[in-house]
A and B are shown apart, each in its own frame.
Chain A
């Protein structure tokens, strides 16, 4: 066969094949294949979601940390907002706000937690070289108190969580700023002690540091009252606290310099 004629026939054949295939593809939009295709795509999409979830696990965890942080930040901001509303305290609160703005933080990762049922402590990857000192407040989620630094070595520090039996700090309870002493209670709920029976404390009242013990700055959020009881044979209220942060579930903390 003449090669020119052969090429012409091949070209026409290719054009026809293209037109036919595109027409059949258009016709297939509503056919059985379309349903099959969408089912396959949805399966691939599901697999993709799972795989990318596994691959991006770290990012998702970090994002979750950031969101938790922001959530707690909003809660602590709420306390400040309410404080600012109080006319008599306006000036003092403005001063406090300025003070908190001047605070420097050190970000640290939690690298170990107490393994058994006794102490409620954890180890962070920042130490003396990073400016950590014994007694510094450890926070997370804005200004939510997590614990205090109790031991510092060159590159690591040990932090006592606020649920530890040895943890104590002066606090305010509720809008009326009732003074009390917050105490950790190990595996049991922490509580606020030294609040006289005559004081009006309600469930869900927020508890935050008062700064009166000169241990921590004022306004670090601790949690809310879980239950309030008035024991007949005692002179102080029995106030159990639900901490705002479960320290066993966080992986990073901020240390106030």
Chain B
């Protein structure tokens, strides 16, 4: 009973965290492009926790973030679907080939995660909703977005490690 409450609390807090990131994205981050590019906070938040042992946690985060994005955009649930595809790909294929986790790998998760997410977003929109976003996908701004999101995931990973580093130092 206690364990299930703890799990529920974990999922609830992660959902809240992703929700806050999504709200920040659609409100003020939207007006603050870096080098002409908007970073993707929800993607950063999800990728920083992509190898969390709990599937439910990540799926829940993707649903909340994806839905908030979709409500303020074309409302065709392509953000939600792209997030889910990204999670499934990373957790099935990625986990199989990932031998050891390292802090600096977060940067590459960010870069490749952005590439995969944007690829599926562009593809689904093109195939099913006749929206053509290939110009952005093939532009150098997309490379900047990949780098920025990569840095974001790295920073999130770094921040998440601070408590454990402090604990380790206190023990010594």
Chain A residues with CB under 8 Å of chain B are 112-119, 121-123, 151, 153, 158, 165-166, 185-188, 248
Decide if B37 is an interface residue (CB 8 Å cutoff).
yes
Also in contact, A186 and B133, with CB within 8 A (given A117-B145, A158-B74): yes
Contact with A along B39-64 (1 / 0, CB 8 A): 01000000000000000000000000
Docked CA distance A84–B22 (Å): 50
Contact with A along B113-156 (1 / 0, CB 8 A): 00000100110010000111101100101100100000000000
Are B72 and A113 in contact, with the CB atoms below 8 A?
yes
Are B135 and A115 in contact, with the CB atoms below 8 A?
no
> Which of chain B's residues has its CB closest to A119's CB?
B74
Are B136 and A186 in contact, with the CB atoms below 8 A?
yes
Chain B residues with CB under 8 Å of chain A are 22, 25-26, 29-31, 36-38, 40, 69, 71-75, 118, 121-122, 125, 130-133, 135-136, 139, 141-142, 145
Are B36 and A114 in contact, with the CB atoms below 8 A?
no
Residues in A with CB closer than 8 Å to B25 are: 115
Are A116 and B69 in contact, with the CB atoms below 8 A?
yes
Docked CA distance A122–B75 (Å): 10
Additional A-B contacts beyond A115-B69, A187-B139, A187-B141 (20; CB < 8 A):
A112-B71, A112-B73, A113-B30, A113-B72, A114-B73, A114-B74, A115-B22, A115-B25, A118-B118, A118-B125, A118-B133, A119-B73, A121-B74, A123-B75, A153-B75, A165-B133, A165-B135, A166-B130, A185-B135, A187-B37
- Nearest CB on B from A44, distance (A): 33
Q: What are 22 A-B contacts defined by CB distance under 8 Å? A: A114-B72, A115-B22, A115-B30, A115-B72, A116-B69, A116-B73, A117-B141, A118-B125, A119-B74, A119-B133, A123-B75, A151-B74, A158-B75, A165-B132, A165-B133, A166-B130, A166-B131, A185-B135, A186-B135, A187-B141, A248-B30, A248-B31
Are A123 and B136 in contact, with the CB atoms below 8 A?
no
Docked CA distance A94–B91 (Å): 66
Residues in A with CB closer than 8 Å to B36 are: 187
Are A121 and B133 in contact, with the CB atoms below 8 A?
no
- Nearest CB on A from B152, distance (A): 14
Docked CA distance A151–B72 (Å): 13
- Nearest CB on B from A240, distance (A): 15
- Nearest CB on A from B85, distance (A): 16
A-B pair number, CB within 8 angstroms: 73
Residues in B with CB closer than 8 Å to A165 are: 131-133, 135-136
- Nearest CB on B from A178, distance (A): 26
Docked CA distance A185–B40 (Å): 21
> Which of chain B's residues has its CB closest to A158's CB?
B75
Are A151 and B75 in contact, with the CB atoms below 8 A?
yes
The 5 closest A-B pairs by CB, nearest first: A112-B72, A114-B73, A118-B133, A115-B26, A115-B25
Residues in B with CB closer than 8 Å to A122 are: 72
- Nearest CB on B from A12, distance (A): 69
Are A115 and B73 in contact, with the CB atoms below 8 A?
yes
Residues in B with CB closer than 8 Å to A121 are: 73-74
Are B37 and A113 in contact, with the CB atoms below 8 A?
no
Docked CA distance A122–B135 (Å): 20
Docked CA distance A121–B71 (Å): 11
Residues in A with CB closer than 8 Å to B30 are: 113, 115, 248
Residues in A with CB closer than 8 Å to B135 are: 165, 185-186, 188
Docked CA distance A150–B132 (Å): 15
Docked CA distance A228–B141 (Å): 24
Residues in B with CB closer than 8 Å to A117 are: 37-38, 136, 141-142, 145
